[in-house]
Amino acid sequence: MSGALEIAQPLLLADNGLDATLLEQAFATLGTHSAEDADLYFQHTRSESWSLEESQVKSGSFNIDQGVGIRAVSGEKTAFAYSDDITAPAILEAARSVRTIAAAGQNARLYQPTEGQSHQLYAPLDPIGSLAEADKIALLHRLEAHTRALDPRITQVMASLAGEYDVVLVARQDGLLAADVRPLVRLSLQVIVEQNGRREQGSAGGGGRFDYAWFNEARLADYAQKAVAQALTNLAADPAPAGTMTVVLGPGWPGILLHEAIGHGLEGDFNRKGSSAFSGRIGQRVAAPGVTVLDDGNIADRRGSLNIDDEGTPTQSTVLIEDGILKGYLQDRLNARLMGVASTGNGRRETLAHLPLTRMTNTYMRAGSHDPAEILASVKKGLYASNFGGGQVDITSGKFVFAASEAWLIENGKLTRPVKGATLIGNGPDVLTRVALIGNDLALDPGVGTCGKDGQSVPVGVGQPTLRIDGLTVGGTQ
């Protein structure tokens, strides 16, 4: 038995008086004879958050949630029910509700559980118990101290610390029984600076699938330096110019543009329905030569990584675009079956009360061969964007608008003046064809990404090397 199953089965089954016989009864109640897929998704989650503002830790929260979601799928239709009560009567009642909705057949398949395969990308530890409450509060105060020591123009420091211990168990009608124990921590910092009546802000932070020990003094100092540097850059920034120009994107977090403008359009559900700008284009050139985009749920300790997805399928590294050619889409089990392909391990749900959807994990562009300094030197006049805030994307058309939270003018191959108010406007499929130079400095984000889709939020990762994109529309304030 895997380490995750050794934790999940006692916690989610035995401690609630359940065993494999109950799973068999549930599938029998579902009447899975006419269902092409069915599963039970058990989950136990403990989470906490602490917030510092005005030099005080003013709020803290702690939550425990558990329950089971039950699903049956026939064709494109899905019947679903969930219960926050993990007992035999509650599970069987939910199964009866699903059976009624699905109008499933009367003959049940024999359920024979088989342990599923998974990776070991992170330790099955409990981050919440890794630090005493007093030490969590002290950590936030130390982060504030690191930050305020950097500049007298700092007027406000806001910080938050969050941790989660998530145990899931997936039982499928095909007999698969798989589990995952998912630690997750995140530390966020926001700084406000003021000078001559002008106020600006900066932010930083990080996290991943480990415990609070990750946030050592060196990282606290690094987060403080980055947040303050961004705020002071914006304090000195001039209004951004507008027009069509060459844009250089920095490495790491700017990959959020790739995630939103391109990644969502490569999810299987949109392409099965023909609603993506990439629908029906496998095998075609959709990007400039040298552009290779992957979604990889297998990177150790990353925020977007999973040992198994929320349907019990091991995550994998999926090449979406290779040297500019579209190779495939991300798939969950439902869309993979309807499109006649295999699941890529991208079926994800926010909680047991949600249905799985096709979702990204860690999405990034592979490095190229150009030195970042060489890329900057190649630009006579343009914009360098090193950080992004919010954005909007239309999946069908691929059109996007993104706000740069930290940007500089490039003049004669050098960064000259910081600018603020710049927005990048374009079309995802089109912008891929405008990639002119790809840096050799691939970086992943620091572990802060959260992706929303159909009202569900899940942790994700992004990344890219320095990129030069020609002829991109920039919306500015002058």
Does residue 337 register a pLDDT over 80? yes
Give the 3-state secondary structure of residue 34: helix
DSSP class of residue 116 equals P
pLDDT at 478 over 70: no
Interior angle at CA 210, CA 464 and CA 443, nearest 5: 10
* Higher-scoring residue by pLDDT: 231, 99: 231
- Furthest-apart CA atoms within the chain: distance in Å: 76
Rounded (5°) CA angle 153-159-162: 165
pLDDT band at 110 (very low <50, low <70, confident <90, very high): low
The alpha-helical segments, DSSP class H, found in 131-266 are 133-148, 217-235, 255-258
Report the pLDDT value the prediction gives residue 444, as an integer from 0 to 100.
98
Q: Is the dihedral of CA 286, 432, 336, 297 positive or negative?
A: positive
More reliable by pLDDT, 110 or 407 = 407
Whole-angstrom Cα distance, residue 316 to residue 70? 25
Q: Using an 8 Å Cβ cutoff, are 116 and 176 in contact? A: yes
- CA nearest 115: which of 303, 413, 314? 314
> DSSP of 305-337, one letter per residue?
--SB-TTSPBP-EEEEEETTEE---B--HHHHH
For the stretch 275-304, pLDDT in tens is 999 999 999 999 999 999 999 999 999 999
Residue 188 to residue 331: CA distance in whole angstroms: 31
Tell me, letter by letter, the H, E, C secondary structure of 126-162.
CHHHHCCHHHHHHHHHHHHHHHHCCCCCEEEEEEEEE
User: In a 10 Å sphere around its CB, with 0-12 CB exposed, 13-18 middle and 19+ buried, how is residue 213 labelled?
Assistant: exposed
Could you tell me the pTM of the whole model? 0.94
Using the predicted structure, report yes or no on whether residue 33 has a pLDDT greater than 60.
Answer: no
- Does residue 31 surpass a pLDDT of 90? no
Mean pLDDT of 378-396: 89
Higher pLDDT, 384 or 399: 384
Per-residue pLDDT, averaged over 233-252, amounts to 96
The pLDDT-based confidence of 1 (bands split at 50, 70, 90) is: low
Residue 431 pLDDT? 92
